[in-house]
Structure 1
Amino acid sequence: MSEISLDAPKLFDLAGNVALVTGAGSGIGQRIAIGLAQCGADVGLLDRRTDDGLAKTADLIEKAGRRSIQIAADVTSGAALDEAVARTEAELGPLTLALNAAGIANAHPAEEMEETQFQTMMDVNLKGVFLSCQAEARAMLRNGRGSIVNIASMSGVIVNRGLNQCHYNASKAGVIHMSKSMAMEWVGRGIRVNTISPGYTATPMNTRPEMVHQTRLFEEQTPMQRMAGVDEMVGPAVFLLSDAASFVTGVDLLVDGGFCCW
Structure 2
Amino acid sequence: MITSNLENKTAYVTGGARGIGKTVALGLARNGADVAIVDIDLETASRVSDEIKAMGRRSMAISCDVTSADDVQAMVDRIIIEWGKLDIAFNNAGICINVAAEEMTPAQWKKVIDINLTGVFFTSQAAGKVMIKQKSGVIINTASMSGHIVNVPQPQSAYNASKAAVILLTKSLAVEWAPHHVRVNSLSPGYIATEMTLSAPEEWKSRWLEMSPAGRMGNPEELVSAVLYLADDSASFTTGTDLVVDGGFTSI
TM score, norm. by length of structure 1: 0.92
- Report what 2:52 is aligned to: 61
- Structure of greater Rg: 1
Q: Aligned partners of 1:254, 1:153: CA distance in 2, in Å?
A: 8
The alpha carbon displacement at 1:89 in A equals 1.6
1:163 Cα offset (Å): 1.6
Aligned ranges for residues 187-226 of structure 1 at < 5 Å? 187-208=178-199, 211-226=201-216
Counterpart residue type for residue 220 of structure 2? V
Report the counterpart of residue 19 of structure 2 in structure 1: 27
**In 2, Cα distance between equivalents of 1:74 and 1:64:** 27
Once the two structures are superposed, residues 129-151 of structure 1 have per-residue CA deviations (whole angstroms, 9 ceiling, x without a partner) of: 00000000111111120000000
Asked if structure 2 preserves the Cα contact closer than 8 Å seen for 1:11 and 1:244, the reply is no
Whether 1:118 and 2:140 are equivalent positions in the alignment is: no
The list of structure 1 runs, each at least 4 consecutive aligned residues, that deviate by more than 4 angstroms after superposition, is none
In the aligned structure 1, how far is the partner of 2:12 from the partner of 2:155? 32
TM-score by length of structure 2 reads 0.96
Percent of aligned pairs sharing the same letter: 43
- In structure 2, the residue corresponding to 1:20 is in which secondary structure? strand
Q: RMSD of the TM alignment (CA)?
A: 1.4
5 Å matches for 1:1-262?
A: 12-50=4-42, 52-208=43-199, 211-262=201-252
Partner Cα separation in structure 2 for residue 17 and residue 219 of structure 1: 38
State the Cα distance separating 1:200 from its structure 2 match.
0.3
Distance 1:193 1:136 in 2: 11
Any unmatched runs of 5+ in structure 2?
Answer: none
- In the alignment of these two chains, the number of paired residues is 251
SS at match of 2:196: coil
> Residue 36 of structure 1 aligns to which amino acid in structure 2?
L
Checking the alignment, whether the CA contact within 8 Å between 1:154 and 1:198 is kept in structure 2 is: yes
> How big is the shift at 1:11?
8.0
> Which residue type is aligned with residue 45 of structure 1?
I
CA distance in 2, matches of 1:60, 1:177: 34
> What is the Cα deviation at residue 62 of structure 1?
1.6
Report deviation, 1:173: 0.2
